[in-house]
């Protein structure tokens, strides 16, 4: 009678256990459901066409301790459910690290721009472009940055931290800005602004708008002014959205600063075609001297795409976040 070597034939290299194979391995290991009890990794390897080491690792993965009997004693058994859960959990970490994980310095640079400076993802990318702070071989798009934020890959930053909480505010179709036929106002179109204003080469050129709430029937609103070059922001509380209130706010500001300093700070101001800015001559004329205190420009009342709305929309959204509509806003705020 000859001796037959118990050797392992060809097996599938690199194959993973499926749920069905794990369940079948549990039956063999426990000798249940009509399967012959078998605990040898070598023999089990022949049955499953895998190496003995693979069987050993799989048994170790799914081994649990059962407490049995009236007099408690423990026994180690292979459990297919436990092995499957462990395998699925570890498979989550397969593959290369995401870009955010490989470039920690970039993530640390992005975080304060959003949390402290209140930048949008688009503004963050433009800042990195301008300062040339991209890691070598890496350049992400705006959509990727939004994905990082939604996935929690940037510490401390969520969608709630973004301007307007990541939502785009659409026009509800109420007819847009109110129009009027003020000849002085229409003559100061932004098309006539000097190049130094358009290219933001010199500080002292501002853009303004009003922010108001319809809650509780209140007429109070905020007059926001943003310097085009430095992004310095001035927010003044006014009693209502009338040309008289806007002029009184300018008069009060000129008294506080003095005529000379006011002219140095406010070289020009650009408004939209709202009726609250219709007193062009009154806003330009100084109350302390016989001359003018600033130069006004406006968006044309003709329906065109506003050139300055991107900046004032951002300012308006920032103001709404800083001064919730349910609360009383401070009389004025100056921040950079």
For helices 104-115 and 121-131, angle between their N-to-C axes, nearest 10 degrees:
120
pLDDT at residue 288, rounded to an integer: 92
280 sits in which H/E element: helix 280-284
Q: What single DSSP character describes residue 275?
A: G
The sign of the dihedral angle between the CA atoms of 77, 79, 82, 86 is positive
Look at residue 162 in the predicted model and tell me its pLDDT: 86
pLDDT of residue 178: 47
b (16+ CB within 10 A) / e for 170-193: eeeeeeeeeeeebeebbebbbeeb
pLDDT of the residue at 110: 86
pLDDT (tens digit, 0 to 9) for every residue of the chain, 336 residues total?
A: 455 555 545 555 557 888 889 999 999 998 988 899 999 999 999 999 999 999 999 999 999 887 766 666 677 889 999 999 998 888 876 655 555 556 777 888 888 888 888 888 888 888 888 877 787 777 888 888 888 888 887 888 888 888 877 665 555 554 444 444 455 655 677 777 888 888 888 889 999 998 877 667 778 899 999 998 888 999 999 999 899 999 999 999 999 999 999 999 999 999 888 888 888 889 999 999 989 999 998 876 544 444 444 455 555 555 555 555 544 444 444 444
What is the per-residue pLDDT for 336?
Answer: 41
Q: How many angstroms separate the CA atoms of 147 and 201, rounded?
A: 35
Question: How far is 111 from 157, CA to CA, in rounded Å?
Answer: 7
Domains and CATH numbers, the chain: 19-91 (no CATH), 99-165 (no CATH), 183-335 (3.30.420.10)
Q: What burial class does residue 77 get, using C-beta atoms within 10 Å of its C-beta: 0-12 exposed, 13-18 middle, 19+ buried? A: middle
Query: Comparing C-alpha atoms, which of 176, 119, 112, 116 is closest to residue 314?
Result: 119
* Burial class for 11, CB neighbours closer than 10 Å (0-12, 13-18, 19+): middle
82 burial level (CB within 10 Å; 0-12, 13-18, 19+):
middle
> How many residues are there in the chain?
336
Residue 223 pLDDT: 92
User: What was the pLDDT predicted at 88?
Assistant: 86
How many whole angstroms separate alpha carbon 181 and alpha carbon 100?
54
Counting beta carbons within 10 angstroms of the beta carbon of residue 216, is it exposed (0 to 12), middle (13 to 18) or buried (19 or more)?
Answer: exposed
Contact 308, 207 (CB under 8 A): yes
Cβ partners under 8 Å of residue 250, min gap 6? 283, 293
Label residue 56 exposed, middle or buried (CB < 10 Å: 0-12, 13-18, 19+).
middle
């Amino acid at each position: 009678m000859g001796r037959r070597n118990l050797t392992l034939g060809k097996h599938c290299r690199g194959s993973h256990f499926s749920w069905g194979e794990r369940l079948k391995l549990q039956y063999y290991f426990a000798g249940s459901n009509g399967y012959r009890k078998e605990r040898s990794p070598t023999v089990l390897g022949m049955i499953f066409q895998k190496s003995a080491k693979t069987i050993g690792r799989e048994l170790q993965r799914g081994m649990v301790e059962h407490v049995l009997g009236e007099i408690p004693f423990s026994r180690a058994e292979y459990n297919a459910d436990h092995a499957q859960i462990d395998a699925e959990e570890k498979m989550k970490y397969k593959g290369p690290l995401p870009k955010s994980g490989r470039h920690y310095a970039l993530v640390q640079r992005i975080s304060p721009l959003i949390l402290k400076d209140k930048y949008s993802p688009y503004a963050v990318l433009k800042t990195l472009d301008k300062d040339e702070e991209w890691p070598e071989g890496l350049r992400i798009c705006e959509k990727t940055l939004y994905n990082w934020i939604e996935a929690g890959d940037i510490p401390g930053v969520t969608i709630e931290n973004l301007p307007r909480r990541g939502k785009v505010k659409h026009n509800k179709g109420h007819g847009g800005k109110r129009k009027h036929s003020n000849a002085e106002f229409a003559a100061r179109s932004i098309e006539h602004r000097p190049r130094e204003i358009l290219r933001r080469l010199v500080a002292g050129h501002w853009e303004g708008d009003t922010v108001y709430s319809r809650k509780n029937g209140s007429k109070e609103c905020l007059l926001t002014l943003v310097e085009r070059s430095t992004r310095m922001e001035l927010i003044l509380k006014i009693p209502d959205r009338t040309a008289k209130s806007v002029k009184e706010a300018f008069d009060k500001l000129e008294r506080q600063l003095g005529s000379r300093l006011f002219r140095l700070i406010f070289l020009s101001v650009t408004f939209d075609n709202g009726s609250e800015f219709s007193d062009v001559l009154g806003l330009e004329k100084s109350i302390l001297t016989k001359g003018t205190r600033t130069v006004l420009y406006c968006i044309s009342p003709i329906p065109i795409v506003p050139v300055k709305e991107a900046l004032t929309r951002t300012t308006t959204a920032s103001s709404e976040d800083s001064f919730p509509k349910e609360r009383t806003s401070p009389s004025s705020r100056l921040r950079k």
